[in-house]
Structure 1
Amino acid sequence: MYTEELIKGKKWLAVGDGPRDPVTGKRKQIARRGKTKKEAEQRVRDAIDALKEDGIDESVVKKMTFEKLAAEWLNEYALTGKKKATLRIRRKEINILNRYIAKINIAQVTGRKYQKILNDLTDQEYARTTISGVHTTAGMIFKYAVKVKLLKDNPVAGAVVPKKRMTVEDIESSKIEQKYLEREELEEFLLAVKVHGLEMDLERFYLLAFTGMRSGEMCALKLPDINFETKELRITKTIYSEDNNMRNYELTPPKTSGSVRTITLDDQIIDILKAHVTKQKKLRLQSRIDPSEYHDGNFLFARENGYPFLPKNIIVRMERILEKTSIKKHATPHIFRHTYISMLAEAKVDLPTVMERVGHDDMKTTMKIYTHVTKKMKEDASNKVQQTFGNILNFGIS
């Protein structure tokens, strides 16, 4: 060990050889300071012992803030092939965490301090799904810190996402019926589409309603994805644009591997799509767009310039149609997935087939809707028996 006096009577610097680097085989110099020679040397010995025990270099940890750690983790996370949409969500969750601990040294982030963050987010009435996402991201970041020998333990491992006490209004608004359109509501919406819809509204909303597709999957459809002879639709991709710019779109695989699927279309939907394709071809021939500026992406639903529509457009169109109806539910295009599940359940399609047709979206929600609809059908059947054969049933009572 090498030791020297830096400032006479005030500071000493001790330097010792740490464990060999597992990759290069070279020894790492461990330097520590102290008020006395003995103190500086003891600090070096303690640091070397810690490195031998758990591989954690305190000098590196002292320079590592949460902000730096999160950025380092995100770079590695991106290399695993995650979609841009997923990375965007992780960045948002990191930004929330940075508001609390960006400049704090990671060794100072305790389980108690982290739990207070989750509690505060709950007090600020963040959605529980948002808080859960933040918690998941924090868990992955600190797990990474343990893996790369920056921390010995994950400080967020024992934390819990608080459960908000539900009010009567919360309970009533969270009823499963709120997640899908009843038959009468679907009829009202589609009628409003026929009466008030703009160009392509009818084709797109009917396709969403009777296939359970995600809006991103629908916007990504290309003409070869439809086989009009076999009446089949092949779903292999979804569309994404970080800035909602039609020219900056990206086609990526669907949400999950189970989302790649082939579904059979009803005759009525096939007829609607055939008419749509014919109309699009005519418009393409009549287009005044300069051919050199036309984007030939072969999209089923294309703008005049050939570029695809984005899911944001479907949301805006749906909000416009909903204003023409009496439907009070908070409905986005995703509600058609749940509506389609309810339709299949009412048609007595078995659950595995339902899951296959919708591409394994949220099994928990799918199960709830399927169970709710089938249970309701049984109750309706019992009521019909009572209404039809009530007099006979009463014979046993009189």
Structure 2
Amino acid sequence: MWSQKLKSGSICYFERYKDPLTGKTKTATVTLKPTGRKSDARVAEDVLREKLQKIMASGDPVINSITFKDLCEKYVEYQHKELKLQSAEATRRRVSTLIRLIGHDTIASHLSAPVVADRLYTGDDITFNERLTRYKALMRWAYRAGYVDDVAYLDRIQKKRVPSTRVRDAEKYLEHNEIDRLLSGMKIERWKLFTEFLILSGLRIGEAIALNDSDVNLNTREISVTKTFSREIRQISTTKTEMSERTVFIQDELLDVCRRIKKFERERQLMYVYRTDLFVSDDYGKYVNYDAYAKYFRENTEHLLGRRLTPHSLRHTHTALLAEAGVPLETISRRLGHANSGVTRDVYMHVTNRMRNSDAEKLKSVKMLDIC
């Protein structure tokens, strides 16, 4: 320990230590007003010792020196070998947030339950739970791969008590009056048409962006879904799953929207002098900007509906509309491109249960026999 007198007259005491989370040498300090007694140095030493004990308690003995950033990079490398390119890039984007919060130079094997819980939480319970799920998956992989020797502490980090994701997602769809308000309030014609198309087709936004004009056959009334636009790699890729590759029937309302989109695209090509094979394109004949549409959609739902939704809610809206029309769940699932989806089932059950409750309420006060 050493000391230095400050201009204020106080004495600043210093002590070096090795940070248990990063392995780097740092300095702890404490500033005290001098009393002129010989015990001043001992008091400072006791305060520093207590401070260092708290710091050291946040780390474990050195087991492995790999930093959290390096560990995340190895995890992404592994994902690139095992998963589709777009899935691996999605992982890269998600772990970048973890690196920022946990610390790039933090030693991965020194992390503990209190430290991780504190660093992942930034005020929102739902966001914390999502981050914690990703963090636990990462660290359990690290344990299996031999980069850390113990992850038992993960079980001590509990998620916040919030409504389940499936329950929340089941309610993320547009009611009929909300659809009218949203479409009426959208000022950009291309995005308005695109939104109508997504509502009536049930396609994922990436699947819709990837469509060629020839994929939408108005004569046979079929949309051929064989590919998707990956936001992570910004290029065309295979569909999300094998079941996602499908043929979607074009019902009457969707037929009208498809005709209007084709007409709109022809007019834009003449206006801006370009040619494209895409069903929907930007003003240069290229793929429409995924993020630009998502931002426009979020801002419009917040402004016009009072709640912030993502374009994926339009798939839930499609499910809700078909459920209200009495279309069986199995038919809806095939149309959406998956054999089994918990969220789709929850949306379907949420809507049908609400319809039953509404029917019961209507029948509650009905009088059919006017008997005195």
What TM-score do the two structures reach when normalised by structure 2?
0.70
One-letter amino acid matched to 1:204: F
Equivalent residues in 2 for 1:246-395, closer than 5 Å: 249-288=234-273, 298-319=277-298, 321-322=300-301, 325=304, 327-360=305-338, 363-387=341-365, 389-392=366-369
Q: Hey, what's the Cα distance between the residues in 2 that align with 1:116 and 1:208?
A: 43
Distance 1:144 1:157, change over 3 A: farther
- TM-superposed CA distance for 1:207, in Å, is 0.6
Q: Hey, what's the Cα distance between the residues in 2 that align with 1:159 and 1:264?
A: 47
1:163 aligns with 2:159: yes
- TM-superposed CA distance for 1:156, in Å, is 5.1
1:224 aligns with 2:241: no
- Deviation string 1:343-394 (CA, Å, 9 cap, x unpaired) is 111112111222222223982322222111111222222233334x4253x8
- Mean CA deviation greater in 305-314 or 77-86: 77-86
Q: Hey, what's the Cα distance between the residues in 1 that align with 2:355 and 2:140?
A: 43
Residue identity (%): 22
1:77 aligns with 2:79: yes
- TM-superposed CA distance for 1:299, in Å, is 1.1
- Deviation string 1:203-241 (CA, Å, 9 cap, x unpaired) is 211111112222222111111211211111122222134
| Contact 2:139 2:151 (8 Å CA) reproduced | no
Equivalent residues in 2 for 1:24-173, closer than 5 Å: 64-84=66-86, 86-93=88-95, 96-97=98-99, 99-100=101-102, 102-103=104-105, 108=110, 113-114=112-113, 116-118=115-117, 120-122=119-121, 124-125=123-124, 127=127, 128-145=129-146, 154-155=150-151, 159=155, 162-166=158-162
One-letter amino acid matched to 1:354: I
What SS does the aligned partner of 2:308 have?
coil
One-letter amino acid matched to 1:82: K
Distance 1:64 1:125, change over 3 A: same
Q: Hey, what's the Cα distance between the residues in 2 that align with 1:362 and 1:310?
A: 30
Distance 1:62 1:374, change over 3 A: closer
Distance 1:120 1:260, change over 3 A: same
Distance 1:108 1:229, change over 3 A: same
Among 188, 195, 200, the alignment partner of 2:190 is 200
Q: Hey, what's the Cα distance between the residues in 2 that align with 1:224 and 1:157?
A: 54
- TM-superposed CA distance for 1:199, in Å, is 2.8
| Contact 1:138 1:156 (8 Å CA) reproduced | no
Q: Hey, what's the Cα distance between the residues in 1 that align with 2:132 and 2:79?
A: 20
- Deviation string 1:265-310 (CA, Å, 9 cap, x unpaired) is 122322332243244234424534xxxxx6x651111122211112
What SS does the aligned partner of 2:309 have?
coil
The aligned residue for residue 183 of structure 2 is 190
Residue ranges of structure 1 left out of the alignment (5+ in a row): 1-60, 243-247, 289-293
Q: Hey, what's the Cα distance between the residues in 1 that align with 2:241 and 2:156?
A: 27
**Bigger-Rg structure (1/2):** 1
What SS does the aligned partner of 1:263 have?
strand
Q: Hey, what's the Cα distance between the residues in 1 that align with 2:240 and 2:68?
A: 30
What SS does the aligned partner of 2:189 have?
coil
The aligned residue for residue 223 of structure 2 is 233
- TM-superposed CA distance for 1:115, in Å, is 6.1
- Deviation string 1:18-68 (CA, Å, 9 cap, x unpaired) is xxxxxxxxxxxxxxxxxxxxxxxxxxxxxxxxxxxxxxxxxxx75544443
Distance 1:97 1:156, change over 3 A: farther
| Contact 2:120 2:131 (8 Å CA) reproduced | no
| Contact 2:209 2:287 (8 Å CA) reproduced | yes
| Contact 1:209 1:336 (8 Å CA) reproduced | yes
